Amino acid sequence: MNDPEQGRSAGVTRIGSSRLTEVKVENAVGMVLAHDLTQILPGEFKGRLFRKGHVVTEEDLPRLKDIGKENLYIIDLADTDLHEDDAALRMARALSGSHVACGEPGEGKVTLKSTVHGLVSISREAVDAINRLGDIALATVVDRRVVRPGDALAATRAIPLIVPAGKVEEVERIAQSFRDAWGDAPVSVRPFRRMKAGLLTTGSEVYSGRIRDRFGPAVSAKLAEFGSEVAEQRFAPDDRHTIVNEIHYLRKQGYDMILVTGGMSVDPDDRTPAAIAEAGADIVSYGTPMLPGSMLLFGYLQGVPIFGLPGCVMHDPYTSFDVLLSRVLAGDTIVREDIVEMGYGGLHR
């Protein structure tokens, strides 16, 4: 129904029950523009040259010709149709959940932005169902990306200038059934909680003072990046009994999470995984299918998240620790399947 050639006669194009009446640019002075008009100057500018609602003046005529406009159109919109800007705005409103701000329409597009620092939740199922409808487009970032205030999360757009209202109503239905099932809209952001971590650094070479600790500064900086902090750092040699006692000490301090560094790999004197288990943690996984960060351990000690952090966390800017830390700070409980799913797309080095 949106073939613009269909139903065209003597300067009038019919799209469904709506009509577009052609007006030659030379005769358009005083006319109200029915949609935003775009200019593209490669390498210089791309955007709105004239805004919907603008009243055409004599001086506009050469600029309209410069962007290829020989004709302008008056829209008679049928009740069953929506203007591109209204379609994009209604879809954006339906899709916006917690901590998401909906922008103003421009050139038939509305952008959804985060209002907080947190983890975005985007339902791929809902996005695919919406894009299957045709005539409308929804483009998003990937689920579980860390976002900051002002970051774009998604954009809605009508493809033709005039869209059947039924398409937008279908988007609203999809969004509403998602809300009914999950308690939030298909695009939402969970702000990061501010957590206090207890840090235990193992390694006899560090404990004895042979080498300077590099884990403490790296882990503190990482937590600060997310708005959390290392509240206390302790040190232990590669002795399982001492490591277990230090983990119990940190647990008693009531920290929101416990981080243990070093001794995570293959040698018999890498004691940390066994010590974390002996301390009483339920191990969700020792080994994470992501690189860097494959030797990471994650579990819960009396409900408190506990990480065994491998050496790469000291020097690689993005590891499996970033992925799991962001989820813990967003309030997720990590299960084995979450770890399993990290392998696909998880090769970063």
Ligand X SMILES: Nc1nc2c(c(=O)[nH]1)N[C@H]1C(S)=C(S)[C@@H](COP(=O)(O)OP(=O)(O)OC[C@H]3O[C@@H](n4cnc5c(N)ncnc54)[C@H](O)[C@@H]3O)O[C@H]1N2
User: By C-alpha distance, which of 293, 264, 109 is closest to 202?
Assistant: 264
- Report the C-alpha gap between 252 and 169 in whole angstroms: 54
Q: Which stretch binds ligand MOO (CB under 6 A): 144-152, 176-184, 198-206, 291-299?
A: 291-299
Binding flags for ligand MOO, 311-330, as an x/- string (CB under 6 A): xx------------------
Map residue 103 onto helix, strand or coil: coil
Kindly compute the dihedral angle of the four CA atoms of residues 23, 24, 30, 35, in this order, to the nearest 10 degrees.
60
Site for ligand X in 162-201 (CB under 6 A): 201
Q: Is 214 exposed, middle or buried (0-12, 13-18, 19+ CB in 10 A)?
A: middle
How many whole angstroms from its chain centre is CA 181? 21
- Residue the block writes with tokens 């399947």: 337
C-alpha–C-alpha distance, residues 281 and 260, integer Å: 12
Among 18, 242, 285, 294, binds ligand X (CB under 6 A): 294
Q: For residue 188, what are its two tokens? A: 């939402």
> Judged by CB under 6 A, which stretch of 97-105, 212-220, 274-282, 292-300 contacts ligand MOO?
292-300
Q: Which parts of 252-281 interact with ligand X (CB under 6 A)?
A: 261-266, 270
2-36: burial string, b at 16+ Cβ within 10 Å, e else: eeeeeeeeeeebbbbebbbeeeebeebeebebbbb
Q: In whole angstroms, how large is the CA radius of gyration of the chain?
A: 28
Smallest distance from ligand X to CB 138, Å: 39
- Which of 97, 299, 305, 310 touches ligand X (CB under 6 A)? 310
Pick one of 291, 304, 314, 334: the residue that binds ligand MOO (CB under 6 A): 291
Q: By C-alpha distance, which of 77, 69, 94 is closest to 19?
A: 77
Check binding of 273 to ligand MOO (CB under 6 A).
no
140 binds, among ligand MOO, ligand X, none (CB under 5 to 8 A by kind): none
Binding segment toward ligand MOO, per CB under 6 A, in 102-110, 274-282, 309-317, 332-340:
309-317
**Which residues in 194-223 contact ligand X (CB under 6 A)?**
201, 203, 205-206, 211, 213-215
Residue nearest to ligand X according to CB distances in the complex: 311
**Residue 262, binding choice from ligand MOO, ligand X, none, Cβ under 5 to 8 Å by partner class:** ligand X
Are the C-beta atoms of residues 90 and 46 closer than 8 Å to each other? no
- Residue selected from 195, 294, 297, 324 as contacting ligand MOO according to rule CB under 6 A: 294
SS3 232: strand
Do 121 and 144 touch, CB atoms closer than 8 A? yes
Establish if 295 lies at the interface with ligand X (CB under 6 A). Answer: yes
Site size for ligand X (CB under 6 A): 20
Closer to ligand MOO by Cβ: residue 105 or 310: 310
The footprint of ligand X (CB under 6 A) covers 201, 203, 205-206, 211, 213-215, 261-266, 270, 294-295, 310-312
The footprint of ligand MOO (CB under 6 A) covers 291-296, 310-312
